[in-house]
Amino acid sequence: MKKKALIFGVTGQDGAYLSKFLLNKNYVVHGVIRRSSSINTFRLNDVYKEPFAKKRNFVLHYGDVTDSLSVLNIIEKVRPTEIYNLAAQSHVAVSFDIPEYTTNADALGTLRILEAIVKVDKKIKFYQAGSSEMFGKVVEKPQNENTPFYPRSPYGVAKVYSYWITLNYRESYKLFACNGILFNHESPLRGETFVTKKVVKGLCRIKNNKQKKLYLGNLYSKRDWGHAEDYVVAMWKMLQNKVPDDFVICTGKQYTIKKFINLVAKKLKIKIKWRGKGINEKAYDQNNNCIIECHQRYFRPAEVDTLQGDYSKAKKVLKWKPKKNLEDLINDMISYELKQISK
């Protein structure tokens, strides 16, 4: 019998990479999508090919993690071997604008899935998409599985709830439930409003005279960026481990947003010069055109200044390590963007 995976959040960046990975491992993959007035399955174009074939290995269901009935009904109908909860309002800045919805989806959504597992079949394995945002105002560097949490946003707080409720259901009901504590991971399929995608897309368009300027926020926060393609492998490995456990997944390397911009500009052969300070800091190209400015709109009420992880436990127990470095990531993202522009 083929293994069956159910992915909440299948239409997102990680959902798309995970679907592809599991299909290659010969799983039947079921995904939960939300009804939307515009098509939201573009990341799945590669895998969602034969929606009406008799024997499908990729099946989509309408549902929402804020709707307990849909969560329970889908799990009961699919009876999966493994559930991956990737569903979330995943934008940190937006979580300050819609804190109640973010909490409903990102915290209570996890509880709804765990309750449904307890009701339907306690043997279903569960992966929870935890985040380095839970470390927030970090209390030690680098961060590992034992580092205390100090979230800095409604998103981070909701993810901390999900972390503990996952651990609590593991201990209370002996579920095979794991928390991945994933640091930032990016790819050509990254959402358009996250900083790496904004920078790569913006600079590619500026290079090709499709756009004049890019507006950003804090240039000095530091992130540990990996490639989503590597990180979905870690999710799967957690559920194949002998015992359920929690793992930090990261690269161990850290860069500022400004350094990321400089690396992308260099690859695109845009010679940039920075002038000014604070919110007035701007980047100019070789013709002295201002191509990057900061805008108050993109600063957050509370910032996570620095994130850098330690993946020693995942390396030792799961035999996982990242394959792609920041240069590979930037190359991947640039070549995708340039292809989009030339289409």
Q: Which does 195 bind (CB under 5 to 8 A by kind): ligand NAP, ligand GDD, none?
A: ligand GDD
Rounded CA gap, 30 and 152, in Å? 33
- Pick from 75, 83, 105, 216: which binds ligand NAP (CB under 6 A)? 105
Asked if 44 touches ligand GDD (CB under 6 A), the answer is no
What is the footprint of ligand GDD within residues 160-189 (CB under 6 A)? 183-184
Q: Which of residues 155-184 bind ligand NAP (CB under 6 A)?
A: 182, 184
Pairing type for strands 255-256 and 222-223 reads antiparallel
d(CA 318, CA 249): 11
Distance in angstroms (rounded) separating the CA atoms of residues 212 and 26:
46
Which of ligand GDD, ligand NAP, none does residue 223 bind to, with CB < 5 to 8 Å depending on kind? ligand GDD
Per-position b or e across 188-203, b if 16+ CB within 10 A of its CB = bbbeeebbbbbbbbbb
Report H helices in the chain: 13-24, 68-78, 92-97, 99-103, 109-120, 154-173, 195-207, 228-240, 257-267, 312-313, 326-342
Task: Tell whether residue 90 is a contact of ligand GDD (CB under 6 A).
Answer: yes
Binding region for ligand GDD (CB under 6 A) out of 118-126, 212-220, 270-278, 327-335: 212-220
| Separation between Cα atoms, residue 96 and residue 102, nearest integer Å | 9
DSSP state of 343: -
Using CB under 6 A, count the residues that bind ligand NAP. 27
Of 301-320, binders to ligand GDD (CB under 6 A) are: 303, 307
List strands edge to edge, sheet with 4-8.
Answer: 58-62, 28-33, 4-8, 82-85, 125-131, 177-182, 246-249
Q: What part of residues 270-299 is at the interface with ligand NAP (CB under 6 A)?
A: none
Token pair 């993690």 in the structure block, residue: 65
Name the one residue in this structure whose structure tokens are 């580092």. 147
Site membership for ligand GDD, residue 211 (CB under 6 A): no
Residues in 190-209 at the binding interface with ligand NAP, rule: CB under 6 A: 191
Cis peptide bond upstream of 188, omega within 30: no
Of positions 4, 5, 6, 15, contacts ligand NAP by CB under 6 A: 15
Reference 233, options 33, 58, 24, 41; nearest CA is: 24
Q: Which of 92, 177, 204, 292 binds ligand GDD (CB under 6 A)?
A: 92
* CB of residue 174 to ligand NAP, shortest distance in Å: 25
Among 29, 71, 195, 333, binds ligand GDD (CB under 6 A): 195
132 binds ligand GDD (CB under 6 A): yes
Residue 307: closest CA among 261, 263, 258, 256: 256
If phi over 0 gives left and psi between -120 and 50 gives alpha, with beta otherwise, what is residue 288?
Answer: left
Q: Which of 96, 101, 161, 194 binds ligand GDD (CB under 6 A)?
A: 194
Q: Is 233 in the site for ligand GDD (CB under 6 A)?
A: no
144 makes contact with ligand NAP (CB under 6 A): no
Residues at the site binding ligand GDD, with contacts judged by CB under 6 A: 90, 92-93, 131-133, 183-184, 193-195, 198, 216-218, 221, 223, 257, 298, 300, 303, 307
Residues at the site binding ligand NAP, with contacts judged by CB under 6 A: 8-15, 32, 34, 36, 40, 64-66, 86-90, 105, 129, 131, 182, 184-185, 191
